[in-house]
A and B are shown apart, each in its own frame.
Chain A
Amino acid sequence: MSDNDNGRRGFLATGATMAAGLGFVAIAPGIRLIEIAQARPAGEAASSAVRWGMLIDTTKCASGCDACVSACASENGIVEQVEDPAQRSHWIRKIDLKDKQSGREHSLPMMCQHCAEPPCVDVCPTGASMKRADGIVLVDRHICIGCRYCMMACPYKARSFVHEPLTEQNPEVPRGVGCVEACTLCVHRVDRGQLPACVEACPEGALLFGDLGDPNSEISRRIAQEATTQVRADLQLNPGVRYQGI
């Protein structure tokens, strides 16, 4: 191999690294070049080449903080105050955990885990519960009959049933009484190339959103290099949300 070849390869490698680095540079708060490149034009189907996922570092997640929960509620218009707290919708919630043996305590956000093998999709009689090609698990509000079988099947208690008629909804996030709903991974934002509201709101940067299908994405690299946990890994559902520090 000649010195000339080495020089050309080195130049290409440096150039590629610089381009990738530029991609991650924020050009405005909340908007990055790399994300603009990933925004999906209207009318184009979601691609199975992408698998959206999230990595949550629980060591950075403070027990009393619920910035992700508040951001989710305001982004998705979950503003109703149902009298019975057990009947309220929870798309994302903070769970405080204490190890029964060691007493170690920590806190984490829990939401739809966007499984590759979602039990909710398996059990839905009409096909309203569905998984998009890019791995986001959603409920089609037009054909959900409100049977709640998906809520029986979800091992993460991630789904809620809307118990009351709703007003003041966010037009981008349709919700409705009598239907089941859950975290959409802020699909309306992701399709525009933005981050989910919870990821953006976390003051500690504990939530990392990205493409699990791209081996070079930051989330894929970290999952490849660091110890991560799938909640209820025994069920082999291959969730799109992974945790660190559990």
Chain B
Amino acid sequence: MTTTFLSYRASTPRFWLIAAIGALVSAVGFGAALYMEHHGHVVTGMNNQVVWGIPHVFAIFLIIAASGVLNVASIGSVFGKAAYKKRAPLSGLLSIAMLAGGLFVLMLDLGRADRVMIAATYYNFTSVFAWNVFLYSGMFGIVAVYLWVLMEKRMYAFVKPVGIAAFVWRLILTTGTGSIFGFLVARQAYQSAVLAPMFIIMSFAWGLAVFMVVQRTMYDWNAMTLHPAVRRRMKHLLGVFVAAVFYFVLVYHLTNLYFAKETGFERFILVDGGIFPLLFWGGWFLLGTVLPLALIYLPALAFRGSVLTASLLVIFGAFCQLYVFIIGGEAYPMDIFPGMQASSSFFDGQVATYAPSLPEFLLGIGGLGVAFMITLIGIRVLKFLPEDDLTQLEAAAD
């Protein structure tokens, strides 16, 4: 098979069908945002205690994974691993696509989404959000240049310095995303320095999982098979990242459990908080961590598609983890008067309820649609399919 683009030239109807579905999902997401904008956030499940809801789960997943997916390119350009160099362009494209999808959700969820120009022109430099406006827009620029030097042969000499710049930039970017929460002193769930490195390692795992899913899909569509050496290397890397996320989550919760003032919150998240312990243990721990690790490391469980399944489970676990972290962290009542039992008409001392409404779900899924469409168009018009040099791989294996 010599086709370097997706082979939809041969099966155009299927391409257009998939493109139409992606466009529809994106359009429905945009429509949901217009509906929310017209009626106000009263049509969402978000309220004055759970102020960030399901749209933020989608947006933050996409933004974190956008940073991490670029890891594949960095391993090639910065650390010189040949197998990853072939994957660098796809990695860059996915990074731009997911960042765009995440920002689509984040911006359209604003109470005043019409004031996007204000967000772009008024800055308060003590705000982590304001830093992130620069970090996100800078990321688009750097990755665009990175893609250019990767794909334009005359510019290839610049791959390493640009790759290093992108590598450093995305570490800072994910530090910024983690610090959105890490710098919050008000709520028990946040205000922790460990959140910045934890978000970075989460980005590595989630980004790689997304990459594996996209790569597998593209190979299937092109009737190609991933070389076993490359698959083995990538799945082991995914395993290391998933285990590292587990380590950071463990440290975060153990620290909280040690502090008497945080034990109430930990009990809520881990034991008696209803949906949150369920998603934590069942969603993130069992399905999103233990099972993928088993699929990666236990040969007895290997089957065709086991790496794909592990990657999809890591993504599912990521959503569960973010739901627990963002919504659970807000739902637990703030301890304004330590040592006192509080009650009020504004639900002081009570666990907040949150039931996501359809429009906010659709907005979040619309973000996935936007990322999908950018990827689909990208791989249709430019050469993003990773093609391994088999002789080189076999020589390396020997």
Chain A residues at the B interface, C-beta cutoff of 8 Å: 82-90, 93-101, 110, 119, 121-128, 143-149, 151-157, 159-165, 177-180, 231-232, 235, 246
Q: What count of chain B residues pass the 8 Å CB interface test?
A: 50
Quick check: A90 and B111 within 8 Å, CB to CB?
Answer: no
The listed residue (B40, B115, B130, B340) touching A99 by CB distance below 8 A is B340
Interface string of B45-62 (1 = CB under 8 A from A): 001111110000000000
Given the known A-B contacts A99-B339, A161-B41, are A94 and B115 also in contact in the complex, defined by CB atoms under 8 Å? no
User: Looking at the complex, which one of A85, A127, A178, A235 makes contact with B123 (CB distance below 8 Å)?
Assistant: A127
Pair A97/B342 contact, Cβ less than 8 Å? yes
Interface contact B345-A93, CB-CB below 8 Å: yes
The reply to whether B42 and A164 form a contact with Cβ atoms under 8 Å apart is yes
The residue of chain B having its C-beta at the shortest distance from the C-beta of A155 within the complex is B186
- Identify the closest chain A residue to B190 (Cβ): A152
Of the candidates A86, A123, A177, A235, the one whose C-beta lies within 8 Å of that of B129 is A123
Please determine whether B47 and A86 come into contact, CB atoms closer than 8 angstroms.
yes
Residues of chain A lying within 8 A (CB to CB) of residue B11 = none
The number of residue pairs between A and B whose CB atoms lie closer than 8 Å in the complex comes to: 171
Chain B residues with Cβ below 8 Å from A128 are 122
Contacts of A179 in B (CB 8 A): 111-112
Q: Which among A82, A100, A153, A180 is the interface contact of B42 at CB below 8 angstroms? A: A82
Residues of the A chain whose Cβ atoms lie less than 8 Å from the Cβ of B115: 143-146
- Per-position contact with A for B100-133: 1 when CB-CB < 8 Å, else 0? 0000000000111101101100111011111001
Q: A86-B352, A87-B42, A164-B42 are in contact. Are A122 and B127 (CB under 8 A)?
A: yes
Chain A residues whose C-beta falls within 8 Å of the C-beta of B339 in the assembled complex: 99-101
User: In chain B, residues 41-87, which have Cβ atoms closer than 8 Å to a Cβ of chain A?
Assistant: 41-42, 47-52
Taking a contact as CB atoms under 8 Å apart, the answer to whether B337 and A157 are in contact is no
When each residue 167-204 of chain B gets 1 if its CB lies under 8 Å from chain A and 0 otherwise, what string results? Answer: 00000000000001001111100000000000000000
On whether the beta carbons of B42 and A123 are closer than 8 Å, the reply is no
Shortest distance from the beta carbon of B76 to any chain A beta carbon, whole Å: 35
Q: Contacts A125-B130, A155-B334; is A164 near B40 (CB within 8 Å)?
A: yes
B263 within 8 A of A: no
CB contacts (< 8 Å) of A95 on chain B: these are: 336-337, 342-344, 348
Which residues of the partner chain A approach B259 to less than 8 Å between Cβ atoms?
A: none
Taken residue by residue from 327 to 354, chain B's Cβ proximity to chain A (1 for < 8 Å, 0 otherwise) reads as: 0001000101101111111111000110
Docked complex Cα distance between A99 and B338 (Å): 9
- CA of A125 to CA of B129, assembled, Å: 5
Contacting pair B122 A127 (CB below 8 A): yes
Contacts of A163 in B (CB 8 A): 40-42, 47
Least CB distance from B177 to A in Å reads 13
